[in-house]
């Protein structure tokens, strides 16, 4: 069926019904083949474009679900401390694996979680007075959303709570300083036991 350039408004077009406008110049003698060609070319171009866009969407979705890149030492995963105290905690990671150190309150709610790469040292300053639990998780490929490593090698707890205190003596201020070395399993200063590890998921 060939369309015309000026069909009357009350004309119904049905399949296999050809409407001709006699004695009028037709503006579409070549239009069907032209429009068919353009439509064909548009479809041909649209398909690979849609495939590319779909592939990009899949890759982006997959990337968002993968563990994050390895954070630098000192990257705070969680920090609800005011850091207006004097307490100082120094941790030396002598393990061959990265770890995340977690300070909690008495109810094992995480107050601070910080990333510590293998063979690195970190200082956590400004800790307020109080009793804090200290936990560690060790592994590879930190997953920020899940709040854990993609590959977990272990969870550890420092059995004795860290008690931070400050004494104002007038001329000077005395405050708590803790320094902790993390060793491999053969020389570990952690005693195996069962405990609840703090929830770091976001």
Look at the domain 76-187 and name its fold.
Immunoglobulin-like (2.60.40)
In this predicted structure, the answer to whether residue 162 has a pLDDT above a threshold of 70 is yes
| C-alpha span between 129 and 140 (Å, rounded) | 33
- What's the Rg (C-alpha) of the chain? 34
189 falls in which pLDDT band (50, 70, 90)?
low
59-91 pLDDT tens trace: 555 445 455 579 999 999 999 999 999 999 999
Mean pLDDT value across residues 153-168: 93
pLDDT of residue 62: 47
94 Cβ contact partners less than 8 Å away, ≥ 6 residues apart: 119, 181, 182, 183, 184
Domain boundaries, the chain: 1-65, 76-187
**Does the pLDDT of residue 123 top 70, yes or no?**
yes
Q: For the whole model, what pTM was predicted?
A: 0.65
- Tens-digit pLDDT profile for residues 7-54: 333 433 334 433 334 444 444 444 555 555 555 555 565 566 665 665
Q: Are 164 and 87 within 8 A, CB to CB? A: yes
Partner residues linked to 3 by β-bridges: none
Q: What's the pLDDT at 138?
A: 95
* Percentage with pLDDT > 70 across the chain: 62
In degrees and rounded to multiples of 5, residue 73 shows phi and psi of -60, 135
Contact 198, 135 (CB under 8 A): yes
Report the pLDDT value the prediction gives residue 202, as an integer from 0 to 100: 77
Question: Strands 177-182 and 87-93: what pairing?
Answer: parallel
Q: 150 near 141, Cβ under 8 Å?
A: yes
pLDDT for the residue numbered 23: 45
pLDDT in the model for residue 55: 60
- Strands 110-116 and 98-104 come out as antiparallel
The mean-pLDDT minimum among 25-29, 41-45, 159-163, 171-175 falls in 25-29
Q: State residue 194's pLDDT score.
A: 79
């Amino acid at each position: 069926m060939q369309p015309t350039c000026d069909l009357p408004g009350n004309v119904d077009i049905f399949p296999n019904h050809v409407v001709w406008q006699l004695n009028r110049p037709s503006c579409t003698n070549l239009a069907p083949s032209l429009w068919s060609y353009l439509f064909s070319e548009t479809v041909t171009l649209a398909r690979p474009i849609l495939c590319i866009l779909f592939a990009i969407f899949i890759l982006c979705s997959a990337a968002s679900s993968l563990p994050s890149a390895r954070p630098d030492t000192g990257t705070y995963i969680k920090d609800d401390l005011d850091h207006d105290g004097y307490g100082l905690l120094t941790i030396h990671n002598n393990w061959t694996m990265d770890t995340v150190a977690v300070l909690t309150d008495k109810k094992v709610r995480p107050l601070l979680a910080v990333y510590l790469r293998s063979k690195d040292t970190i200082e956590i300053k400004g800790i307020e007075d109080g009793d804090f639990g200290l936990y560690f998780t060790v592994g590879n490929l930190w997953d920020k959303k899940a709040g854990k490593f993609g590959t977990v090698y272990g969870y550890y707890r420092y059995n004795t709570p860290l008690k931070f205190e400050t004494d104002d003596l007038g001329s000077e201020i005395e405050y708590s300083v803790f320094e902790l070395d993390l060793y491999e399993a053969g020389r570990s200063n952690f005693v195996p036991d069962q405990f609840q590890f703090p929830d770091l998921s976001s």
